[in-house]
A and B are shown apart, each in its own frame.
Chain A
Amino acid sequence: MTRRGKAARQGYDGVVAAVPITIPYQRYSPEPAHWWIARALGDLVRTAGITPQDVDGFCVSSFTLFPDTAVGLTQHLGLTPRWLDHIPMGGASGVVSLRRAARAVQAGDAEMVACVSGDANHVDSFRRMLSSFSRFAQDASYPYGSGGPNASFGLMTDHYMKTYGVTREDFGRICVAQRENALSFPHALMKKPLSLEQYIAARPISDPIALFDCVMPCAGAEAFLVMSETAARDLDLPAVRILSTIERHNAFPDDPIQMRGGWEMDREEFWALAEVTPGDVDLLETYDDYPVISMMQFEDLGFCKKGESADFVRSHDLTNGGSFPHNTSGGQLSVGQAGAAGGYLGMVEALRQVTGTALGNQVEDANLAIVSGFGMINYDRGLCSGAAILAGPGA
């Protein structure tokens, strides 16, 4: 069977995202995921000036809801949505939730979709989650040292460094810049400045990964609303247009080790739909559970060529006042990783930046943002990738 010519993709005209909500993270909390999601949903409706009954679409991402899913949450939280989704895609959850919700609103299946992610972090829950993360992980990666994502990214980082001559200092530039961004972001768990020397001298975790290459697991929640442009105007909410999105899963399965993500498969179409170019972008929010994956996003999204990220970070200032504002809240590396909410962090931050409502340092004239997501080390590589181009009211 031969493939027919692809139908042209529709844009997201008339659909907007609004009301970025962050529930401040805590390193450990006895509260369950339900508590975090409820708080985020509550803030969402109060900030938007609507009632829970107005929420007719509900989209949830969480690792720690077991034994519940989004279904159980409707009864738990008193929602009666006509559209419900559960996105178990970790770091890609934010982007994927946005594009699912946008299509639902666009098609009229729902008018007001609440996208919420939140996770608990009890004292032993990270170990439990790792040990039962996926069948492939149980069968074929967890038994090899049980290093979790640290070890997976240790391998990717080792290979990437050897292949492209990247040094730890290059990764360090990303981490140090993000820490500077985080110093003005009120919800960041990491409050101390970080120097490149401190980065290099940090305790090894899973060579070549060291302490400041890793995120701190924590509890927290993030949320936003998706609705029609008209609805946002009626509610008098600063709204963000969606110019383009992509998602891809299990891209390049025959690559011996991950050196690229699904973005590379869909990059051309991604920019074409938005009719913008990388040079037009004001800020980039990558999924940054380790700096090597941020570098892959620079490359695969087209900000530089494959293997040239080291040069890119050497030649750009990645802070909010710099030449290439990147992970403007400090990213997960400095704010913390609240489970699936880590996949929303960049999205929610971008919504704030392009609406001029940053909690930390505002990127000047921020109008066009890229949010990129990456998630789910099912075995040896992240399977889910996605990205979105967002335009603020000033764009």
Chain B
Amino acid sequence: MTEAIQRPRRKDPQKRTVLPTLPPTSRSRKALGFTAAAAAGRFVLQKCDDCGAVTYPPREACPKCLSMALNWRDMPDGGRLIAETTIQTSTNVYFRERTPWRTGTIELDAGITVLAHIHGDVAQSGRVRMIARTDKSGQGVLMALPEQETANMADDKQLRELTCDPKHRRVLVTDGRTALGQAMANAVSAAGASTVFVGIAETWRPYAGADELAAIPNVEVMALDVTDSISVKELASEIGGKVDILINTAEHIRAGGAMDRDGIVTARDEMEVNYFGPLRLIQAFGPGMRFRGADGVNSACAWVNLLSVYALSNWPAYGSTSASQAAAYSLSQCLRGEFRGSGVKVLNALFGPLEEDWRQHLPPPKVTPEGLAKAVVGALQQGLEELAVGAVAEDFLVRWKEDPRVLERELTQPEGA
């Protein structure tokens, strides 16, 4: 049984902060297919389209029939632990600081054996459930969990290295004015966050739900306007050293494309919030988080971007907002690169139309703010980096992965989207 992690004590101000080190980062290009799936929480292995053989580690050709048609396929996640070792000494600094470390050989139901990290509650020679996640180096790894849920399972030391569980962590929700921001504050608080900082822009302007927001356990309302560099910097000077998870809920959305809009004032507002907003947040909060990627139980661990799925391909009905979201999406990729080395994950939650005022006229299915918040917290608990929320987003992603050019044609039809 896993021992529950206790809320960390206050830091000893005389002790140096532990700097992030990384598990091995090098992978073949082929292995990045595994990593990309793991970032979205999918457990895939290469399967030969010609002979059906499942193979691992990642290969260029099928070792059974030399077919080149190896493709990543979702795999049954069951297996059995057939050998294990607890590593007590390691040549890698990251593991050296974290030994003992349990690894093992799993005979998968998929028919092959793999090496994996082993959860502490897996019984000797026991059945396991496999998960694929990115580790602190941002690379995909396998971990074997007990088949059935166990007490405090998420608190397993090795599993917590792969997840971004809000439990005992301090979270900044950047915009608490909206139903989404408030739902997010509620969800991370319920997930055990020790502090939920919630940003409010233009504190002199009243907003719905203010009292309820302030009443959420562990919520601290702070002045923060993502369109104001000074405001962002000031808040970072105040709490930048204790933001472990940053969830950017600020968004500015208006209907309309390019040609039918007069002037760029609205587009600039969209860019100010949707692109320059995260850019300001990154500059103010990113360096502190990057430094604190291994800072104990409440290490900095995740940066969450909430992005309209139309960031991936423009929907002309919201064409200008889509463009600003595309900028934000591109920025998130840059951020992922800049956080490499720190162990801080970038979670992009791509969502379809949200149940809120500026999307009121859109038909269902829509995502509720509570639903989006719950999905984001779930993804943090699982340690994902990619998430699609809602039926529209899920369907959109399937089509996008299939062929982004076809999707572009679909979206730009007269009855697009």
The answer to whether any beta carbons of A and B sit under 8 Å apart in the complex is yes
A67: CB under 8 A from chain B?
no
- A132-B26, A151-B85, A257-B105 as given contacts; A146 in contact with B115, CB under 8 Å: no
Chain B residues, CB < 8 A from A140? 31, 56-58, 114-115
> Could you tell me the distance in whole angstroms from the C-beta of B185 to the nearest C-beta in chain A?
36
CB atoms of B83 and A147 under 8 A apart: no
Q: Could you say which residues of chain B place their CB within 8 Å of the CB of A131?
A: 24, 26, 91-92
Residues of A within 8 A of B89 (CB): 147, 150, 205-206
In the assembled complex, B311 has its CB within 8 A of some CB on chain A: no
Of the stretches A21-29, A103-111, A155-163, A264-272, the one at the interface is A155-163
CB distance from A134 to the nearest CB of B (A): 9
Contact A154 B87 (CB under 8 A): yes
B117 interface residue per 8 A CB criterion: yes
Check B104–A155 contact: CB distance below 8 A: yes
Name the residue in B23, B94, B115, B139 with the highest tally of chain A Cβ atoms < 10 Å from its Cβ: B115
Range for the number of chain B residues in contact with chain A: 35 or more
Contact between B85 and A154, CB atoms less than 8 A apart: yes
Establish whether residues A144 and B117, one from each chain, have CB atoms under 8 Å apart when the complex forms.
yes
Q: Chain B residues near A155 (CB, 8 Å)?
A: 83-85, 103-105, 115
| B141 proximity list for chain A (CB < 8 A) | 143-144
Q: How far is the CB of B387 from chain A (nearest CB, A)?
A: 23
A:298-352 near B, CB below 8 Å:
none
- Are the CB atoms of A143 and B88 closer together than 8 Å? no
Q: How far is the CB of B259 from chain A (nearest CB, A)?
A: 49
CA distance A136 to B55 in the complex (A): 12
Q: A126 and B105: CB pair below 8 A?
A: no
* CA–CA, A257 and B30, complex, Å: 24
The reply on B203 being an interface residue by CB < 8 A is no
Task: Give every chain B residue within 8 A of A5 (Cβ-Cβ).
Answer: none
Residues of chain A within 8 A of B31, CB atoms compared: 138-140
- Tell me if B291 counts as interface (CB < 8 A to partner A): no
Establish whether residues A256 and B115, one from each chain, have CB atoms under 8 Å apart when the complex forms.
no
Min CB gap A37→B, angstroms: 25
A379 at the B interface (CB under 8 A): yes
Task: Check if B107 is an interface residue, CB within 8 A of chain A.
Answer: yes
Residues of A within 8 A of B28 (CB): 135, 138-139
Contact A138 B113 (CB under 8 A): no
The 8 Å CB contact of A256, one of B27, B56, B84, B105, is B105
Question: Are B91's CB and A148's CB within 8 A?
Answer: yes
Say if the beta carbon of B276 comes within 8 Å of chain A.
Answer: no
User: Which of A130, A139, A158 is within 8 Å of B83, CB to CB?
Assistant: A158
**A379 and chain B: residue at smallest CB distance:** B57
A208 within 8 A of B: yes
Additional 6 contacts, C-beta under 8 A, given A146-B24, A147-B87: A135-B28, A138-B28, A139-B28, A143-B24, A144-B115, A144-B116
Q: List 26 A-B contacts (CB under 8 A).
A: A126-B91, A131-B91, A132-B26, A135-B57, A138-B24, A138-B26, A139-B31, A139-B57, A140-B57, A140-B58, A142-B24, A143-B24, A144-B141, A146-B92, A146-B95, A147-B87, A147-B103, A148-B91, A154-B85, A205-B89, A206-B89, A207-B85, A207-B100, A209-B85, A257-B113, A379-B115
Seen from chain B, the residues whose Cβ lies within 8 Å of a Cβ on chain A are 23-24, 26-28, 30-31, 34, 56-58, 63, 82-92, 94-95, 99-101, 103-105, 107, 113-117, 125, 135, 137, 139, 141
